[in-house]
Structure 1
Amino acid sequence: MKIKTTVTVLLLLFTRAAFSQAYTQTNTGIKATVNNINVEIQWYSPRIVRIMKSPKDAVVKKESYSVIKTPENVSVNIQQHDNKLVQQTDSLQVIINLQTGRVSFGRPGGEIIFSEKDHGTQFTPIIDLGKNTYDVRQAFFLDKDEMIYGLGQQQNGKMNQRGQKLLLLQKNTKVCIPFFQSTKGYGVFWDNYSPTLFTDNPQETSFDSEVGDCSDYYFLLGNSADGVIAQMRQLTGQSPMMPLWVYGFNQSRERYKTQFELVDVVQQYRTLQVPLDGIIQDWQYWGDDSIWNAMAFDPVRYPRPKLMADSVHAMNAHLFIVAWPVFGYKTAQFAEFKKKNMLINFETWPKHTRLYDAYNPVTRDSYWEYLNKGVFSQGTDGWWLDDPEPDHLNHNEQDYDQPTYAGSFRSVCNALPLLHAGGIYTHQRQTTSAKRVAILTRSAFAGQQRYGANTWSGDVRSDWSTLHKQIAAGLNFSLCGIPYWNTDIGGFIAEDYVNGGTKNPEFQELYIRWLQFATFTPMMRSHGTILPREIYQFGQRGEWPFDVQEKFINLRYSLLPYVYATAWQVTANAGSIMRALYCDFASDPQALDINNEFMFGKSFLVAPVTQKGVKEQVVYLPAGTRWFNFWTGDQLEGGQSITEATPIDKMPLYVKAGSIIPWGPRVQYAEEKKWDNLELRIYPGTDGHFTLYEDENDNYNYENGQYTEIDFHWNDQTRMLTINDIRGSFPRMLQSRKFNIVIVNKQNGTGAAPAVKFNKTVTYKGRKTEVRL
């Protein structure tokens, strides 16, 4: 139990009596003691620095769950000027006030861009599970006008997180990551896993964590949003490629009740010739007798699970299976883990279940053994990790005082999604490299991108306000350095639409607007409770609720070459898929706090419709470029707001001048046709560049260099398209292909349908080709 002492003890004493100008150099930086607080600065790179502070007599041994980078050998110049100790690389200056302990961060010229408060580190002694430790708080100064983004996925609808007071504690629909980045080009990661109060007000910005042996944070100088994200990936891990099929359309429901029902859904999509790549089996496939999560298929309703998977594969689709971190008391796992003290003893949802101790590597081994034997060995393709927060039943504070392998649950609770996903990713990689790990998970923590995890926004309500909030939630999540995010199309909880169900025009409108938004998120996935969500539940072809869905699902598949190439930039160059306008238009003040628009990759400006019944919508076009209306080909200069009509079959969608967009073939699933006859849409007005990426789509051979890249460059002045030599190779790669080139204008290359004519068709055999248009 966490116990605070009666009198709060601030180990930062407001006195100069303990002031000392002495410091010690280490292999990674310096150590000093100021006012009875040990201060250590560790340089991880010329632009990444770690600040650790602890009470003078404390012994701190900490291994980070999130940080996997080790300190580089960094050349640091150290100088002392009176009470200031200055450390400087060619990129970053760190200054310690040896009188107050304040640490400040600046550029080599002396400009301070971020600073702690004087006496801003506070340790309040507590007892946590019998251990003497601290409630630890660190306060900073932010400039009045700077904006900050991040903190995970918050459901407050805000882009700029200034002025917020948020308890960072994982829960359904709320993903908590103690990280933010600033419009001044830096990021701060507070490396603590206990419940943490983030506060920003005119006096200070602070993290206050309930349990911690030290104040421990990383300062990352990126000079831009992409730069900070790249630093965060260096620190916490790069993001692997998802299989190509994951970027297609994925269908789910809460829930399919037999293997025959699930297979029939895939069959109906194939019969209707509506594209589909993934089908998701939610809970209770294990049967009722086990109570919960037996990790084996009920022999009555799922009598031949291998045949189920094979049947899905025979229709060129893939199967996600849900896996929970909690177990019912009648399962074999519950019995084994209880006997070995590998359960965390508080009641989770549903009733009579307990959480496994994912902090224990031996427990993670056992978890995978059950999952592999009972599920993965049957031929399944991906994981749906529900409840990794987890949900509490009869929630109370004492739940957090339960012991785990790593200490009290309170001290490590926010990292549970990271450990849970990491255990599954690591073990599947050890089991096979033939299938890329594909994880859907309801929560996340810093570093989770390295585990092939795609976080969804939880059991959100089916209403317009919630739809609107998902945009800022997803963008701030991505700005934490985790690129894969999605949401239940239509919202999870649809109880307001029981009357009429999927034939209710109000739900149909909400669902379709949500689906349009999801077309431009890293994963396009339909799911929800109460109402089934398959396309044929809404009507039939020829009726608008069906036709608009089909139009946007087909649009997603047309964009697959673009999406897959963007995903490669995520993996190879620490890029992002769903991008806040700040990422690309940081010099445009009007773009910095827009919460209803975003970039999809580097080319598409997306403005989802999030209001019921609207016939038009105001869209801001960021300054510094010309924009093409995707649907009409009209060209507009940036730096202005325009009003656009929003009929139900369209949402505002613009393409940046200079974009080169490869347009995929009409298919029923992602790998149905090779990309040997691609339409290439060029949006003129400025020079442009694009890299087309291809590999074997679903294994890890790309990590060994088995992939290809083709660079395209558009010179707007000379009207020359250069297709460079292909780089790389892989088995069964294309040796020859056609590029059907379209210069987009109001007459051609607009909208979701293929172009009606081409400016030129080029046969490409891997050698540099120049095309004047």
Structure 2
Amino acid sequence: MPLNSNGIQITIPASENMEAHTLRIEVISEDIFRISASPTDSIPEVQSLMIQDSLPKAPSWERRETNDSIGLITSKSQAWVSKITGGIAFKDESGKLLLKETPGGKAFLPITADQNHPLFTITQRFESPRDESLYGLGQQQTGLFDYKGYQVDLTQYNGVVAVPFLTSSREYSILWDNNSITKVGDTRELLPLSELRLFDQLGKEGFLTAVYANNKEQPNQGLKQHEGQIDYTFLDDLEKIPADFNMADGAVTWTGQLMANHNGLHQFYLSYSGYIKIWIDGQLILDRWRESWNPGPAVFRQELHTDKPSSIKMEWIPESTQSFFSIKYLAPSAYDTEQTYAFQSEAGQMMDYYFIHGKSIDERIHGYRLLTGKAQVMPKWAMGFWQSRERYHTQAELLNTVAEYRKRGIPLDNIVQDWSYWPEAEWGSHDFDPERFPDPAAMVRKVHEEYHAQLMISVWPKFYEGIDHYEQFESKGWLYQQNIKNRQKDWIGQGYISTFYDAFAPGARELFWKQINDKLYQKGIDAWWLDATEPDIHSNSSIDHRKTLMSPNALGTSEEYFNAYSLVNAKGIYEGQRKQNNQDRVFILTRSGFPGIQRYGAATWSGDIAARFDELEQQIPAGLNFALSGLPYWTTDIGGFFVENKYDRPDPQGDDLEEWRELNTRWYQYGTFSPLYRSHGQYPYREVFNIAPDEHPAYKSIVFYNKLRYRLMPYLYSLTGKIHHDDYTLMRPLMMDFEDKEAKSIKDQFMFGPSLMINPIYQYKARSREVFFPDHTLWYDLLTGEKIEGGKTIEVAAPYDKIPIYVKAGSIIPFGPEISYTSEKPADPLHLWIYPGQNGKFELYEDEGINYNYENGFYSTINLLYNDAEKTLVIGERKGEFEGMLKSRTFIITLANKNSATALELDKESEQAKIIKYEGKEIIIKLSN
């Protein structure tokens, strides 16, 4: 039956299998359908947190009906629903099938929870061709890029960001509107190793042989026992470790053999901290390290057989009394990994998802932001370099750091004050410790007025019991109570009892803003670093315990809203600051994220990752999938947050010191071309002048790339404008822009905007790497101008001080003058470097850089068009205006030589350069090499 002008609602015949009974399909746009379903007679009206409050008016559409199905047809997309089963097929405008739900693919399992409305565990399964690739889903730390065939766990952790937005290689994406813990892909329950056939060292079936050695230097001497389930995942699980085992100094080794119950490729899922190594049939499969207090995930696949055992050896060095290791697996299943994938959410009142069609991924990300909100134009300073460390202990340390950057002429825009600037016993007071920060307002003024930089500060949603701010929340019932009832102390000093505020309560969000406004914003603080927003109330607690710690909340149960805390927390600060000051742009950096957070001026970083080359390698696909999740602003801790003992106990020396310097050099090179450019981490100190002396190649390289980013600021800020106005994505996996089949799986190369292909180096002592050059275009080395024809993979040089960066033919790249901070001077003269071989275009975007006047049309654009056949550049008529706009400017135009290498020179004009005075009117320039 018709629902309204936006769609239809139908009733499906009753089923004993708790499938959908009521189904609604709504037309949101020509390319977006909303699917809602319930096992009951009605679909509840649930206020979405991720979808913005108002959506555009639905377009015109046509209803068609056949004997067994009903179709909703727009000019670009179709949705066909079976009258009998409720299964839906999505097609493009020509009728080509894009996505189809599996028969009986909807499932609702009632769950018991303390709420006023029924909740269900919800599953939706889709058919998926073998050659389909699946991306997005937030930020994972497994090193995977294409998730097809794997299980992706969308649970907010430190380092894992759960974003239920999936992007397919088949012209569609899915936004799954559910706030609870969700699994995507192969959603079967992970199994313990004991479900395989296990054999100990002597060949006896049933278990592996475990040795718990109290001295890691003698791993074969210790307590021996048989084990089949290795599951030390959370704090409670550590009780299962033998009582006499010395975790801080010991090692555990498991040895034996595995045999499968089904032949084929098995998937193994690990959570680990400390050192872990795994060998299968003598081959080293995994060799990783993570700081003990912050376990990370790992995934690998291994062929196992029913008739031939495989030897296995696992070695774990915990390094701490609180370290974690677990290993589980999934058996091969073509249905679950090759033919279908599913979304499965732990709790929800209804099923709710959006199908987004688009020929390009950019079109689908536009659809995502139409639903969840535009990303703002970030303040221009945020696109410059940020210096941070854990932490500046005093006012003098912070100011001296900024002063040293200015003294050395190294560009810097933002200095960050990490946690614990408050008196030790007053977490949540937002007060500065007067002994260490005697005049914080003067400190902020000096950063602004003398050093022309911004100051970001760490603000947690955490409060110590008994302080004034705690009592303000407590009196309103806006604090989570369980951690207080547990008398759980944290890790600071003697340990203090604390809890988090309930960000799901509107009044609590307003109070939180009032407190940081009174104590911090009024002192001139520029931006907010929101830490532990998973929320991480008690690190490494079990999932069930985490739920008790954030329950109840103002909207319902923690089961239903587990993943959405960071979204509402950012909402309160964004809305509070804009109400207080609607001029200066809000900037938020938050450790967790969720769909829609981009509309609150928020970016995300990759959490407390390890300072290792393999961890740097993992950040590349993590960032690319984050971008494919519709969220444009992302960063890592350059250098990695926490370090192995060889780097900091004592200061690194010899080979360790040189490895440390090279790690930071390679990470800075990669970080220069991340959406946000930010150094942070534990000791050793992360400032470039603390990493290496001035004449060291590490120092020279880091400073070179820093200055290159600032010279690229006109290019970068234009793309920042495009992110807002055109829903653009800055960090772009190759498959976004190139149709080569190789591009679907490349996870360690990406485009930075339309022109620059970035190829990071992530192996120690590597001095070259393989680079795939997409076909049908010519590529120029950015620095040397040397050319490579596309359509091949070749080994390219990567000396210590450089990473391979290539420019796509047809690119127009604007470079600005050398500057020390983004607002130092206008981008004049503006160097335009043009790379022949194809036609090209670029839109130069400018606005006031710090305020929201662009929302009212106060910005300018200049279209640049290059005709390769005619060798002409059109500098278009300037459109728009804003206060402080350059009405007259100089362009210095260089056409790179297609026949011989043209090295990038920005500080002197080549003989071929054209110098053009521009007054805002269209100019056509004839170019030559």
Q: TM-score range by the shorter chain?
A: over 0.9
**Is the CA contact 1:251–1:280 (under 8 Å) kept in the aligned structure 2?**
yes
Determine which of 648, 654, 678 is the counterpart of 1:498: 648
Does residue 70 of the first structure (1) align with residue 55 of the second (2)?
A: yes
Task: Tell me the equivalent position of 2:75.
Answer: 90
**Is the CA contact 1:43–1:71 (under 8 Å) kept in the aligned structure 2?**
no
**Is the CA contact 1:619–1:642 (under 8 Å) kept in the aligned structure 2?**
yes
Q: Secondary structure at the residue paired with 1:516?
A: helix
The one-letter amino acid of 1:615's match is R
Deviation, 1:293, is 2.5
Does residue 762 of the first structure (1) align with residue 916 of the second (2)?
A: yes
Instruction: Return the alpha-carbon distance in structure 2 between the equivalents of residues 711 and 622 of structure 1.
Output: 26
Give 1:138-287 correspondences, 5 Å limit: 138-200=124-186, 201-287=337-423
CA deviation map 1:73-128 (0-9, x unaligned) = 32221122111111211111111111111011012332211011111111111122
Which stretch shows the higher mean deviation, 376-385 or 735-744? 735-744
Instruction: Return the alpha-carbon distance in structure 1 between the equivalents of residues 616 and 546 of structure 2.
Output: 32
Instruction: Return the alpha-carbon distance in structure 1 between the equivalents of residues 376 and 400 of structure 2.
Output: 32
Task: Tell me the equivalent position of 2:661.
Answer: 508
Task: Tell me the equivalent position of 1:51.
Answer: 35
**Is the CA contact 1:245–1:670 (under 8 Å) kept in the aligned structure 2?**
yes
Does residue 529 of the first structure (1) align with residue 682 of the second (2)?
A: yes
Task: Tell me the equivalent position of 1:129.
Answer: 114
Does residue 666 of the first structure (1) align with residue 818 of the second (2)?
A: yes
Task: Tell me the equivalent position of 1:11.
Answer: none
Instruction: Return the alpha-carbon distance in structure 2 between the equivalents of residues 108 and 719 of structure 1.
Output: 39
Q: Secondary structure at the residue paired with 1:671?
A: coil
Q: Secondary structure at the residue paired with 1:336?
A: helix
Instruction: Return the alpha-carbon distance in structure 2 between the equivalents of residues 644 and 385 of structure 1.
Output: 40
CA deviation map 1:123-142 (0-9, x unaligned) = 11112224432111111111
Instruction: Return the alpha-carbon distance in structure 2 between the equivalents of residues 596 and 107 of structure 1.
Output: 32
Task: Tell me the equivalent position of 2:621.
Answer: 472
**Is the CA contact 2:176–2:353 (under 8 Å) kept in the aligned structure 1?**
yes
Instruction: Return the alpha-carbon distance in structure 1 between the equivalents of residues 482 and 810 of structure 2.
Output: 56
The one-letter amino acid of 2:182's match is T
Deviation, 1:71, is 5.8
Does residue 425 of the first structure (1) align with residue 560 of the second (2)?
A: no
Residue 502 to residue 723, structure 1, CA distance change in 2 (3 Å) = farther
Does residue 683 of the first structure (1) align with residue 835 of the second (2)?
A: yes
Provide structure 2 residue ranges, at least 5 long, that are not aligned to the other structure: 15-20, 187-336
Deviation, 1:671, is 1.3
Q: Secondary structure at the residue paired with 1:116?
A: strand
Deviation, 1:748, is 3.6
Does residue 105 of the first structure (1) align with residue 105 of the second (2)?
A: no
Give 1:601-640 correspondences, 5 Å limit: 601-640=753-792
Provide structure 1 residue ranges, at least 5 long, that are not aligned to the other structure: 1-22
Task: Tell me the equivalent position of 1:19.
Answer: none
The one-letter amino acid of 1:442's match is R
Does residue 580 of the first structure (1) align with residue 733 of the second (2)?
A: yes
**Is the CA contact 1:748–1:756 (under 8 Å) kept in the aligned structure 2?**
no
CA deviation map 1:655-687 (0-9, x unaligned) = 001101111111111111211211111111111
Does residue 60 of the first structure (1) align with residue 44 of the second (2)?
A: yes
**Is the CA contact 1:187–1:220 (under 8 Å) kept in the aligned structure 2?**
yes
CA deviation map 1:400-439 (0-9, x unaligned) = 1421001012211211111111111111111113321111
Q: Secondary structure at the residue paired with 2:138?
A: strand
Deviation, 1:329, is 1.4
Deviation, 1:203, is 4.5
The one-letter amino acid of 1:30's match is I
Q: How large is the Cα RMSD of the aligned pairs?
A: 1.6
CA deviation map 1:554-612 (0-9, x unaligned) = 01101111000011110100001100111101x21111110100000010000000111
Task: Tell me the equivalent position of 2:190.
Answer: none
Give 1:592-741 correspondences, 5 Å limit: 592-741=744-893
Higher radius of gyration, 1 or 2: 2
Task: Tell me the equivalent position of 1:327.
Answer: 463
Q: Secondary structure at the residue paired with 1:414?
A: coil
Task: Tell me the equivalent position of 2:435.
Answer: 300
**Is the CA contact 2:22–2:43 (under 8 Å) kept in the aligned structure 1?**
no
**Is the CA contact 1:615–1:647 (under 8 Å) kept in the aligned structure 2?**
yes
Deviation, 1:27, is 2.7
**Is the CA contact 1:39–1:54 (under 8 Å) kept in the aligned structure 2?**
yes
CA deviation map 1:157-191 (0-9, x unaligned) = 12211011122110000001111011111100110
Instruction: Return the alpha-carbon distance in structure 2 between the equivalents of residues 610 and 753 of structure 1.
Output: 31
Deviation, 1:768, is 1.0
Deviation, 1:749, is 4.4
Which stretch shows the higher mean deviation, 308-317 or 498-507? 498-507
Instruction: Return the alpha-carbon distance in structure 1 between the equivalents of residues 902 and 59 of structure 2.
Output: 54
Which stretch shows the higher mean deviation, 399-408 or 244-253? 399-408
Q: Secondary structure at the residue paired with 2:599?
A: helix
**Is the CA contact 1:43–1:49 (under 8 Å) kept in the aligned structure 2?**
yes
CA deviation map 1:229-249 (0-9, x unaligned) = 011011110111111111111
Instruction: Return the alpha-carbon distance in structure 2 between the equivalents of residues 545 and 751 of structure 1.
Output: 22
**Is the CA contact 1:346–1:399 (under 8 Å) kept in the aligned structure 2?**
no
The one-letter amino acid of 1:27's match is S
Instruction: Return the alpha-carbon distance in structure 1 between the equivalents of residues 50 and 423 of structure 2.
Output: 36
Instruction: Return the alpha-carbon distance in structure 2 between the equivalents of residues 761 and 502 of structure 1.
Output: 50
Task: Tell me the equivalent position of 2:904.
Answer: 750
Determine which of 2, 13, 16 is the counterpart of 1:35: 13
TM-score (norm 2): 0.79
Does residue 542 of the first structure (1) align with residue 695 of the second (2)?
A: yes
Aligned residue-pair number: 749
Deviation, 1:502, is 6.5
Deviation, 1:757, is 4.9
Task: Tell me the equivalent position of 1:12.
Answer: none
**Is the CA contact 2:413–2:822 (under 8 Å) kept in the aligned structure 1?**
yes
The one-letter amino acid of 1:759's match is A
Residue 309 to residue 741, structure 1, CA distance change in 2 (3 Å) = same
Instruction: Return the alpha-carbon distance in structure 2 between the equivalents of residues 501 and 471 of structure 1.
Output: 28
**Is the CA contact 2:128–2:339 (under 8 Å) kept in the aligned structure 1?**
no
Which stretch shows the higher mean deviation, 754-763 or 547-556? 754-763
**Is the CA contact 2:115–2:556 (under 8 Å) kept in the aligned structure 1?**
no
Does residue 376 of the first structure (1) align with residue 521 of the second (2)?
A: yes
Give 1:401-480 correspondences, 5 Å limit: 401=548, 402-480=551-629
**Is the CA contact 2:777–2:790 (under 8 Å) kept in the aligned structure 1?**
yes
The one-letter amino acid of 1:420's match is N
The one-letter amino acid of 2:779's match is W
Percent identity reads 39
Q: Secondary structure at the residue paired with 1:357?
A: coil
CA deviation map 1:618-641 (0-9, x unaligned) = 100111211001122111111111
Residue 235 to residue 620, structure 1, CA distance change in 2 (3 Å) = same
CA deviation map 1:23-67 (0-9, x unaligned) = 334231000010331000111111111000002235512011111
Q: Secondary structure at the residue paired with 1:424?
A: helix
